Amino acid sequence: MTNPLLETWDTSFGLPPFDRVDDTDFAPAIEAAMAQDLAEVEAVANNPEPPSFENTIEGLMATGASLDRVLGVFYNLAGADSTDTREEVMREFSPKLAAHAAAIYGNQALFSRIEQVWLARDALDLTPEQARVLMLTHRGFLRAGAALTGDAAARMTEIKGRLAMLGTQFGQNLLADERGWQRVLSDEDLTGLPEFVVDALNGAGRERGSDGPVLTLSRSVIVPFLQFCPNRALREEAWRAWVARGANGGETDNREIAAEVLALRQDRAQLLGYADFASYKLETEMAKTPEAVRSLLMGVWEPAKARALEDAALLEERMRADGINGPLKPWDWRYYSEARRRDEFSLNEAEVKPYLQLDRMIEAAFACANRLFGLQFRPLDVPLYHPDARAWEVTRNGAHVAVFIGDYFARASKRSGAWCSAFRSQRRFPDVQGPIVVNICNFAKGDPALLSYDDARTLFHEFGHALHQMLSDVTYDMISGTSVARDFVELPSQLFEHWLEVPEVLQEFATHAETGDPMPKEMLDKVLAAASYDMGFQTVEYVASALVDLSFHEGDPPDDPMAEQARVLADLGMPEAIVMRHATPHFAHVFTGDGYSSGYYSYMWSEVMDADAFEAFEEAGGAFDPQMAEKLERFILSAGGSEEADVLYTRFRGRMPGVEALLKGRGLVA
């Protein structure tokens, strides 16, 4: 019996054959594809011909196609629709795949060939893209430990395998804690909650097999509950469960995992000759050094903290008016902040939400992409991995560009958060491939599904990442789409958020779910005026997380990460009523893999650019200025990682930005 994951996919647009894939196919497919990949790599390493760019660098990039396809399906499904079998496969293969990668990077014959091509680079007449790929390949092998030998090489392999296993366990523990907690609510518990929150709670109950409302730890459920629930004791109970994820003791506790991960990362960095992991990690980013990161974060911290403390005093006054003495607590902030928003802006989220229908916001994102880049979106009727997922063909001037998949609803099998991924990246070598891009979100289900303004911003954010993938126009998938510096990758996503705030976009697409009427101009003006509301809170919770992440990886790793977290927050003077957006035991960005480790700051580094980049549109002909859109696509969206990020941004803008536009955009300056 053939394994559908290993076949040639004779499907529409080469989509994975989701309707034929069974969980039992994954393990044998990964094993077979790993073996094939190693055989292909050995053929490159042992090529009797003298090393050249074509037979070594391009030869290496032509390997592993089967493994890439299989893992593209597996990892996307493991994150978006986990099952016991998929989690078991993840635990089994994370260390195996780490060892597989270590075997390739540790192949001395292969590295010798790469080194020879690198040393001969000036005589090879390479294109700029080829020169970039050669540099990245050579640097990647060095940073992976290719130059290590003997005990050091063996230790590096051991570290990578252990880190892979720990990252997998961290994420699965977090998902288990999120799945494992629920609070069945009575009619009395629903008192004071707006209809859309009750609908979300009933939807969560149905998803959990209950016939009544259930509070879960899904962000799309618990955040509005904390915003609107007048029962302070119930808010506290829910909030404590939410922030305790990964720190509940027992098998799913992540605190010891975090400590071991930090120690192993330090060992890895020092094996490669770096003082600490932050120095190793940031070397290839725009920031380059921990000092540059800290300078940015502290430049934003002080005005944000000052604003947050001013806001806290106002919220505490409201709490006193309710007859509650004592200090404002973290489970109070969202509730009283929502009340203040209603008063100051005459804006009630329960009144706004019916105008932010999920389907209309998807249409809005598509329409912006059409006006900016000429993209068109046609719904596809194709088998997908889950009934909630849907797909569109993306075209321009009648030509195929990409397939876009949207998977928008929260469910117990999906890890929390929102992200963009790809089943296939764009490339022209060794064969032409159009990208298959997926956006994953965790919105509450409804009929129709209604979004908060933050939800709508998340939808636009992830679609900005998707545009980076879909409009990529490079030869090699190594530098395709979002394969850029971590502190540059958030630029397209955060920049696209600005189009949600363009009045004409909301005027057209923010229509009432029942009446179909457009959002009244008075409400629209209030929504836009409130866009930077509560930015003291949002900035403090984010920057605190980024500074803790940096501290974890700068210098010697802490024996007790929780104690180090407490020390950093105390030194910062963290406001009592605000906590980190991601406390250590559930800081998945940092501990499920290396992606954002020592790099959580990157959202703000990119925001400095996105605020400045949108100003460029406003300085030109407005949000849909065609010349600026063409420059954005040519120099950033289509360019992938073909050049250094600062070079690409300077080509687009003519200069690098300062922090002023960011502070202005967040409302943190007068």
Alpha-helical (H) ranges within 181-210 are: 195-207
Q: Residues near 301 by Cβ (< 8 Å), separated by ≥ 6?
A: 540, 543, 547, 572
Instruction: Estimate the crossing angle of helix 26-45 against helix 108-119, to 10 degrees.
Output: 50
Residue 462 a catalytic site member = yes
Are 423 and 73 a contacting pair, CB within 8 Å? Answer: yes
**What is the C-alpha separation between 554 and 551, in angstroms, rounded?**
5
Catalytic site residue from 178, 285, 393, 462:
462
Please count the other Cβ atoms lying within 10 Å of the Cβ belonging to residue 117.
Answer: 22
Q: Where are the alpha helices (DSSP H) in 16-127?
A: 26-45, 59-61, 65-80, 84-105, 108-119
CB atoms within 10 A of CB 357: 22
State which amino acid sits at residue 135: M
Q: Which residues contact 597 (CB under 8 A, 6 or more apart)?
A: 265, 277, 281, 549, 553, 589, 590, 591
Cα torsion 28, 34, 38, 43 to 10°: value is 80
Lookup result for tokens 């989220």: 349
Please compute, for residue 274, the number of CA atoms within 13 A of its CA located in the half-sphere on the CB side.
Answer: 24
Instruction: State the Cα–Cα distance between residues 136 and 125, nearest whole angstrom.
Output: 17
Which tokens belong to 227? 């915003």
CA dihedral 123→127→129→130, nearest 10 degrees, is -40
> Is-contact 557 266, C-beta < 8 A?
yes
Q: How many CA atoms lie within 13 A of 250 on its CB side?
A: 10
- Residues classed as catalytic: 462
